[in-house]
């Protein structure tokens, strides 16, 4: 009976401890986000072409990077690195090559789906919801 109990209890303890590790990660402080981007405006011309991107620094926690994935598909990412978002220097920017995003503080790199490609980050970047209404791109988190 003790062996049977051990077989059931030990795995529960093991898996619950793994789950706690994943939940103890530093969270990005919540900031309400509602951003309207006029896609026809020349000030947003970086978003006219596929694979174009633009940073909106006064939004989100540390800023938002918007990336045009295809004709009507845009992705918006929080610029706080998913590795240690509270670190002052932890800010994701577009790499000089324009091929990926990087946090030069911890050297984590991310593709334009927000997935980590290298460095210590193992979580995706925080992604905001996007939708198009007429000529406006709406970025929001509620």
Summarize the confidence of residues 77-92 as an average pLDDT: 96
Residue 26's pLDDT band, with cuts at 50, 70 and 90, is confident
Residue 24 pLDDT? 45
Q: Is 90 exceeded by the pLDDT of residue 22?
A: no
Tell me the C-alpha distance between 142 and 123, whole Å. Answer: 21
pLDDT at res. 5: 39
| Least confident segment among 6-10, 39-43, 57-61, 117-121 | 6-10
pLDDT band per the 50, 70, 90 thresholds, residue 12: very low
- CATH domain 27-140 topology: Rieske Iron-sulfur Protein (2.102.10)
Give the mean pLDDT of the chain. 87
Task: Tell me the domain boundaries of the chain.
Answer: 27-140
Query: In the predicted model, is pLDDT for residue 34 greater than 60?
Result: yes
Q: What is the pLDDT of residues 55-77, one digit of tens each?
A: 999 999 999 999 999 999 999 99
* Rounded Cα gap, residues 134 and 116, in angstroms: 33
**CA-CA distance, 15 to 42, in Å (whole number)?**
52
């Amino acid at each position: 009976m003790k062996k049977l109990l051990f077989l059931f209890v030990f795995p529960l303890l093991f898996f619950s401890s793994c789950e706690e590790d994943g939940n103890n990660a530093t969270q990005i402080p919540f900031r309400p986000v509602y951003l309207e981007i006029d896609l026809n405006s020349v000030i947003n011309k970086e978003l006219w072409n596929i694979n174009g991107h633009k940073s909106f620094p006064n939004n989100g926690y540390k800023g938002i990077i918007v990336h045009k994935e295809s004709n009507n598909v845009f992705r918006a990412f929080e610029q706080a690195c998913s590795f240690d978002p509270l670190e002052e220097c932890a800010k994701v920017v577009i790499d000089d090559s324009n091929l990926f995003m990087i946090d030069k503080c911890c050297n984590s790199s991310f593709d334009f789906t927000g997935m980590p490609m290298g460095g210590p980050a193992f979580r995706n970047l925080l992604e905001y919801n996007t939708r198009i209404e007429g000529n406006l791109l709406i970025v929001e988190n509620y």
